[in-house]
Amino acid sequence: MAWTRKILRVNLTAGTCTPEPLNMEWAALYLGQRGLATKYLAEEIDPKVDALSPGNKLIMATGPLTGTMASTGGRYSVITKSPLTGAIACSNSGGFIGNEMKMAGWDMIIFEGKSPKPVYLYLENEHAELCSAEHLWGKSVWETDHLLHNAHQDPQLRIACVGRSAEEGCLYAGVINDIHRAAGRSGVGTVMASKNLKAVAIRGTRGVGNVRDFKAFFKATQAAKAVLAGNPVTGEGLPKLGTQVLMNVINEVGAMPTRNMREVQFEGANRISAEAMLVPRESDGKPNLVTNAACFGCTIACGRISTIDPKHYTIANKPEYMGANGGLEYEAAWALGSDTGVDDLDALTYANFICNEDGFDPISFGATVAAAMELYEIGAITKETTGGIEMKFGSAEALTRSAELVAKGEGFGRELALGSKRLTEKYGHPDLSMTVKGQEFPAYDPRGIQGMGLTYATSNRGACHLRSYTVSSEILGVPVKTDPLTTDGKPELVKAFQDATAAVDSSGLCVFTTFAWTLEDIAPQVDAACEGGWSPEKMLEMGERIWNLERKFNMDAGLTAADDTLPKRLLKDAAKTGPAKGKVNELHKMLPHYYEIRGWTPEGVPTAETVSRLRL
């Protein structure tokens, strides 16, 4: 079937790599990737474990459709306990390494313990070995990728690794694969580095095993690809403009978090938008955007490849940044731009390159810089605190200098690397941290998009748009249009999105397909590939099971209903402009009903009936 039915268990303390069979009883309940790996993690670690101790585990997992002919079937996830939030962490990435893991014959790799010295895993089909990475420690992602490709003399080798930021303890460091694709949020890379694991290098030539019913699978995937091609978002908008297509749209509807979420519209949005990335520069006549790019098996191709103006000050000492590389996507452009008040497209691109090169989350980084800028504005920190940097809103120099310092773990960068929650607490103004469960907000203000407030507050991994993208419905009208300024029906909408997204994340497919697809498009592909009778209803129930398992893990880790909240600014300070002018997020109207339809107690605990029904 579409599973390889094999996992690799890597004991870093003992230095061993041991194959074992996949638990197919669990696979029947959780499918793969996010769901199945979360089940393994929940069964194998104490939720109260210190995230950066050897007792935590790190799991790299594919879905059953990873590596198949299904469109976007190249995804993999990194699952662990987050050092940033103390909650469950699952970061999803594209690129090509997920496919390579599957082609090598593995559904999942579980890393446990801690190596006494830096190592990397070299995996070629069934051959697995831990190799010394002492010569790689202290190297950036780009340097590590280059050195490993040279060492193994294999251009087809696929590499996931951590940069210097993870080694230096940045709490929002990611795992970067294929140079600029990232399992980017919640500090999964920090956990990887804490285990002295620098990289995973994979070469697979075995191919994916037979799907359950090839004729049905071919028919289902071809029909689904046609739906993607004919949809205006997945067939036109994302290929041409990427996720940056949202910049001007979200700004116009008054939901663009600006200057640490004090405002809901950014006057410089058009200068850092997808449209701006297409405008030729005066200096050399070339635009910021070079081309779009696709991950393995993707027919959407929303990725960006960009360059920087060769005369821009930020690249004076970085000639390697002249080559085309990963470009700005919406979340990064927002966090580095609107949230900090910076409208210099080249400075944003440069800062984003640094995030890629040294492996840290641009969302948490940009939002933490924004919090620091507000601390600076009110006098809570000074130039003495920052090592001479004037942390003023709108300062491209402050932004780019901060990125350089976080990358290297130097100076004020060490404080920025801890995230905005810890930074603002240290300097006496915790309310200036725009986080949920310690994780920084993405690019949608919940005063202007009410459903996103409930999404953020209840997200199992802290503030996250990819756990329930109600923007699809509230702004884009997919699958149905709902009013972004009302709370009516939003608990039901959020629950439906959360459960469906958990199912998609467990399949090996990209959640961006859901701009066009529903589970009616996805379930036939899963069912044709996998045994078990995967109907849309079964997929949705599986998503609900995953959501509740994650919730249970978090509560066992010590989180409570008190963590299902938003910063006071979003609950008390009304939007000043735009369609949402005068509105706050009305979480108090939505949360109790959300708990009720989830089958949870008023304290947010899954009831015994819910636990039994979902076979938890």
pLDDT score recorded for residue 314: 67
User: pLDDT per residue over 388-417, tens digit each?
Assistant: 999 999 999 999 999 999 999 999 999 999
- What's the number of CA atoms in the CB half-sphere (13 Å) around residue 167? 23
Q: With both helix axes pointing from N to C terminus, report the angle between 490-505 and 519-529 in degrees, rounded to the nearest 10.
A: 30
Residue 157, in any domain of the structure: yes
Residue 224 forms part of a structural domain:
no
Q: Check which CATH number belongs to the domain holding 510 and give it.
A: 1.10.599.10
The domain of 590 spans 446-613
pLDDT at 324 over 80: no
The stretch 132-144 carries a mean pLDDT of: 97
User: pLDDT value at position 209?
Assistant: 75
- Structure confidence at residue 313 (pLDDT): 67
Give the mean pLDDT of 479-497: 98
With a pLDDT cut of 70, the percent of the chain lying above it is 98
Give a yes or no: residue 327 inside a domain.
yes
User: Is-contact 491 482, C-beta < 8 A?
Assistant: no
Bridging pattern class, strands 181-183 and 197-203: unpaired
The reply to whether 357 and 399 lie within a common domain is yes
The confidence score (pLDDT) of residue 469 equals 97
Q: Is residue 57 part of a domain?
A: yes
DSSP assignment of 236-266, as one string? IIHHHHGGGGHHHHHHHTT---BTTTTBS--
Q: Are 342 and 362 in contact (CB under 8 A)?
A: no
At 1, is the pLDDT very low, low, confident or very high (cuts 50, 70, 90)? confident
- Average pLDDT on 292-301 reads 96
- Asked if 423 contacts 414 with a C-beta cutoff of 8 angstroms, the reply is no
Q: What is the mean pLDDT of residues 311-329?
A: 74
Q: 124 and 43, same structural domain?
A: yes
CA dihedral 182, 185, 189, 190 (to 10 degrees): 160
Pair 419, 344 in one domain: yes
Reported as a pLDDT band with limits 50, 70 and 90, residue 418 is very high
Cβ-proximal residues to 442 (8 Å cutoff; 6+ apart), any chain: 331, 334, 335, 363, 463, 464, 465
Q: Are residues 488 and 422 in the same domain?
A: no
Q: What's the length of the chain?
A: 616
- Is the pLDDT assigned to residue 322 strictly greater than 80? no
Question: What's the confidence (pLDDT) of residue 210?
Answer: 84
* Mean pLDDT across 84-100: 98
Residues 411 and 457 in one domain: no
DSSP E strand boundaries for 245-376: 289-293, 303-306, 325-326
Residue 234 has pLDDT above 70, yes or no: yes
Provide CB contacts within 8 A for 606, sequence distance 6+.
548, 551, 552, 598, 599, 600, 616
Q: How sure is the predictor about 311, in pLDDT bands with cuts at 50, 70 and 90? A: confident
Residues 184 and 92 in one domain: yes
In a domain, 211, yes or no: no
- 197 and 266 together in one domain: no
Least confident range from 171-180, 244-253, 315-324, 480-489: namely 315-324
Report, as an integer, the average pLDDT of 33-50. 98
pLDDT tier for residue 136 given thresholds of 50, 70 and 90? very high
Side by side, which strands form the sheet with 303-306?
Answer: 289-293, 303-306, 325-326
Compute the average pLDDT of residues 472-497. Answer: 97
Examine the domain organization and report whether 426 and 450 are in the same domain.
Answer: no
**Which pLDDT score is estimated for 319?**
67
Of the listed ranges 85-94, 318-327, 460-469, the one predicted with least confidence: 318-327
Q: Which of 203, 229, 246 is the last residue of a domain?
A: 203
pLDDT at res. 476: 95
Mean pLDDT for the stretch of residues 249-265: 98
Q: What is the pLDDT of residue 451?
A: 98
Same domain, 587 and 450: yes
- Asked whether the beta carbons of 306 and 350 are under 8 A apart, the reply is no
For residue 479, how many C-alpha atoms fall within 13 Å in the half-sphere facing its CB? Answer: 12
What SS3 class is residue 276? helix
- Residue 321's pLDDT band, with cuts at 50, 70 and 90, is confident
pLDDT at 121 over 70: yes
Please identify, among 433, 468, 495, the residue that sits at the C-terminal boundary of a domain. 433
**156: Cβ–Cβ under 8 A, 6 or more apart, which residues?**
203
Q: What is the C-alpha separation between 86 and 495, in angstroms, rounded?
A: 23
Residues 490 and 592 in one domain: yes
The mean pLDDT value for 16-36 works out to 98
Within-domain flag for 216:
no
> In this structure, are 265 and 381 located in the same domain?
yes
What is the DSSP secondary structure assignment for residue 12, as one 8-state letter?
T
Half-sphere exposure of residue 26: CA atoms within 13 angstroms, side-chain side: 19
489-519 residue pLDDT tens = 999 999 999 999 999 999 999 999 999 999 9
Beta strands in 32-125 (DSSP E): 57-62, 76-81, 88-93, 108-112, 119-124
> Are residue 92 and residue 197 in the same domain, yes or no?
yes
Our count of domains for the chain comes to: 3
Share of the chain above pLDDT 90, in %: 95
Mean pLDDT of the chain: 96
The DSSP-derived string for 405-429 is HHHHT-TTHHHHTT-HHHHHHHTT-
Q: Note whether residue 249 is domain-resident.
A: no
The CATH number linked to 160 is 3.60.9.10
Structural domain contains residue 492: yes
